[in-house]
Structure 1
Amino acid sequence: MSRALLIVDHGSRVAAANDSVGAVAALVAEQSDYPVVIGAHMELAAPSIADAVADAVQRGASHLTVVPFMLAPGRHATQDIPRLVAEAVAEHPGVSFRVAAPLGVHDLLAQLVIARAHEAERAPLDASTEPV
C-alpha cells in the first residue's frame, strides 16, 4: 500500500496565504518518509481537496492520511474536511483514508510560539504592523 499525506488548510483569496500550505508540504516531504506529500485547500484556492486526492492516486497512493492545517477542532477540521475527503475518495475505488486531528495544543506548537515571540523581540521597535 502506497501512502500519501495531504495537508489541508482553509484556503484564501490572498495568494501569499495559500502559499504557506505548499511550503509546509515541501518541508514535510523533505523530512518524512511519505512518498507523496501534497498541500491542498478546503475552498477558495487550488489545489482543492478533490484535485489533491486525484493527484495522490495518480502518483500511486492507495492510502491517504489527511492533516487539517488548522489549530482548533472546529467545524472545518472535524466535519468539512473529512466530508470533502470522503467525497473525493469515493471517486477512486480501493483508496482508503484517515483524517488526523488538527494541529491543536501540542508541546511543539508551544515551542513555535516561543520562537516566534523571540524573533519579534529581536526585531527593531517601530510603529510597523508588519509581522517580523
Structure 2
Amino acid sequence: MNAANPSASAIVLFGHGARDPEWAGPMRRIRDAALARPGAPRVELAFLEFMSPTLPEAIAALAAEGAHKVAVVPIFLAQGGHLKRDLPVLLEEARAAHPGCEITLATAAGEADPVVAAMADYALGCLG
C-alpha cells in the first residue's frame, strides 16, 4: 500500500455474478482475508452480470478516489469464454476511460499454481 495515498493501489476481485446474492459469499471471504493482511491495499468486488458493481463501475469508483494502479483478479477456475471475449472489451473500455490509472489483469485464480496446489490438497484430504 502506498503510505502517502492508501487508495493509490487497489485489487478488484472479478466474478461472474449470479441472481442469488449468497453466491458472492466466497468472494467476500477472499476479500476479507486479503484485507486482514498487514499493509493490504484496497480490495473491491466486481461482477460481469446479475450483481453490482460491474467491473466498469468498480474501476471508475476507484479511479475517482485516486487509484493509480488497479489489478483485476478473475475469480474463475479457467480462462473460458467470458474471460477470453467479454473481459478484454471491458478492460479496453476502462483503460480508455481512465488513462491515468494502470489497469492490469491477473491469470484466472483457478489457473494459478498456488491455487491449483491448494485445491489438490483439499481434494486429497476429502478421503479423511
TM-score w.r.t. the length of structure 1 is 0.76
Contact 1:8 1:69 in 2 (8 A): yes
Q: How does 1:8-47 map to 2 (within 5 A)?
A: 8-31=14-37, 33-47=39-53
Q: Which residue of 2 aligns with 1:6?
A: 12
Whether 1:53 and 2:30 are equivalent positions in the alignment is no
User: Structure 1: which 5+ runs fail to align?
Assistant: 123-132
Deviations 1:85-108 (A, max 9, x none): 321332223112111111215244
Change (3 A) 1:115 1:41: same
Task: Work out the CA distance in 2 between the residues paired with 1:27 and 1:58.
Answer: 25
Determine the C-alpha separation between the residues in 2 that align with 1:49 and 1:14: 19
TM-score (norm 2): 0.78
Q: Which position in structure 2 is the counterpart of 1:106?
A: 113
1:89 to 95, 99, 117: 95
Q: 2:117 & 2:104 partners in 1: Cα distance?
A: 26
Following superposition, the deviation at residue 43 of structure 1 comes to 1.2
Number of equivalenced pairs: 121
SS of equivalent to 2:97: coil
Structure 2 gaps, min length 5: 3-7
- Asked if the contact 1:71–1:105 (Cα under 8 Å) also holds between the matched residues in 2, the reply is no
- When structure 1 is superposed on structure 2, of 41-50 and 27-36 the one drifting more is 27-36
Structure 1's consecutive aligned runs of 4 or more residues displaced over 4 angstroms after TM superposition are none
Q: Counterpart of 1:93 in 2: which secondary structure? A: coil
* C-alpha distance in structure 1 between counterparts of 2:43 and 2:60, whole Å: 13
Q: Using the alignment, how far apart are the partners of 2:89 and 2:120 within structure 1?
A: 31
Name the amino acid aligned to 2:116.
L
Identify the range of structure 1 (101-110 vs 41-50) with the bigger mean alpha-carbon deviation: 101-110
Aligned pair partner of 1:115 in 99, 119, 122: 122
Select which of 71, 80, 84 maps to 2:86. 80
